[in-house]
């Protein structure tokens, strides 16, 4: 199992490096320009745009509010794109490429192969965020003397890693869809719909008080993208919910993979 796990990580090495650099660059674009835009941001009226409040963006006057509304807000969205891509590629993608049939000939049971795929997604997302956090800490250290904030450089490690449970939940959901859908394209489309439903469902229920009771049904509800993330971090209970959801999706993916009829391009229940 370890050899297969190591192989999975090696095949993702350039993706991990590329995504870590890309997310760091995204942080540089927004955080790096803040010192020159601090005055404009303090005059930005968010109350005129209800969508911002629904997304948790309530303050642009402080660096904490600005950072939460930009980098912290969009980090799990961007990372979830990779999670969906790698999740659907893990099983459905390999079946489309014709390599999954060879993989199951290894002296490993299907649940072991599925578990290795899941572990590779878990570790890959974590490595990307660790690499990103190093880059963000370097960026913040370069501008810290130009801004007024109580954030310390080391705080960015946990702030960045707070995106991991949410992205992992979408990654495991994509792994499940890759195990039950007939091909990668269908699995990717379904995973994208699932992601968008969670994102816009969370936003809409935040705008309409009549639907506020539905917010806990959407995964983005359990991610703190407000300025309080710099003082409170990701609540342990919220992280636990996302990790339980990820565990459930992962377990269902292993169960579905056990029942899958390989190389025939049909739904798992056929």
pLDDT per residue as tens digits for the range 208-240: 677 778 888 999 999 988 888 887 777 789 999
Asked if residue 268 belongs to a domain, the reply is no
pLDDT of res. 98? 79
Asked if residue 266 belongs to a domain, the reply is no
Instruction: Provide the token pair at 184.
Output: 């990668």
pLDDT of res. 40? 67
Asked if residue 265 belongs to a domain, the reply is no
Instruction: Provide the token pair at 166.
Output: 């949410």
Share the mean pLDDT of the chain. Answer: 87
Asked if residue 65 belongs to a domain, the reply is yes
pLDDT of res. 101? 79
pLDDT of res. 66? 85
* Intervals of the chain under pLDDT 50: none
Angstrom distance (rounded) from CA 76 to CA 187: 20
- Determine the structural domain holding residue 166 and report its residue range: 2-259
Asked if residue 120 belongs to a domain, the reply is yes
Please state the domain count of the chain: 1
- Per residue in 9-27, pLDDT tens? 999 999 999 999 999 999 9
For the entire predicted model, the pTM comes to 0.90
Asked if residue 191 belongs to a domain, the reply is yes
Instruction: Provide the token pair at 124.
Output: 């890959």
Q: Cα torsion at 125, 128, 80, 206 (round to 10°)? A: 100
Asked if residue 133 belongs to a domain, the reply is yes
What are the C-alpha distances in Å from 228 to residues 49, 232, 247? 21, 6, 27
Q: Are 27 and 142 in contact (CB under 8 A)?
A: no
């Amino acid at each position: 199992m370890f050899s297969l796990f190591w192989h999975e990580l090696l095949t993702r090495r350039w993706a991990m490096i590329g995504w870590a650099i890309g997310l760091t660059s995204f942080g540089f674009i927004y955080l790096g320009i803040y010192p020159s835009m601090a005055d404009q941001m303090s005059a930005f009226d968010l109350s005129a745009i209800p969508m911002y409040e629904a997304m948790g963006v309530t303050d642009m006057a402080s660096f904490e509010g600005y950072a939460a509304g930009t980098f912290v807000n969009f980090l799990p969205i961007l990372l979830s794109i990779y999670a969906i891509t790698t999740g659907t590629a893990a099983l459905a993608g390999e079946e489309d490429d014709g390599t999954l049939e060879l993989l199951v000939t290894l002296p490993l049971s299907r649940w072991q192969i599925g578990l290795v795929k899941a572990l590779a997604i878990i570790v890959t997302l974590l490595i990307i965020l660790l690499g990103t956090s190093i880059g963000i800490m370097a960026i913040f250290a370069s501008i810290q003397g130009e801004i007024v904030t109580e954030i310390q450089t080391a705080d960015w490690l946990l702030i960045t890693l707070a995106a991991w449970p949410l992205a992992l939940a979408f990654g495991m959901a994509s792994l499940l869809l890759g195990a039950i859908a007939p091909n990668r394209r269908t699995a990717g489309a379904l995973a994208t719909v699932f992601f968008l439903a969670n994102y816009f469902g969370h936003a809409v229920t935040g705008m309409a008080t009549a639907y506020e009771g539905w917010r806990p049904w959407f995964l983005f509800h359990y991610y703190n993208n407000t300025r309080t993330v710099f003082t409170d971090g990701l609540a342990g209970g919220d992280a636990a919910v996302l990790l339980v959801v990820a565990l459930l999706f992962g377990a269902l993916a292993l169960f579905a993979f056990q029942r899958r009829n390989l190389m025939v391009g049909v739904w798992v229940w056929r």
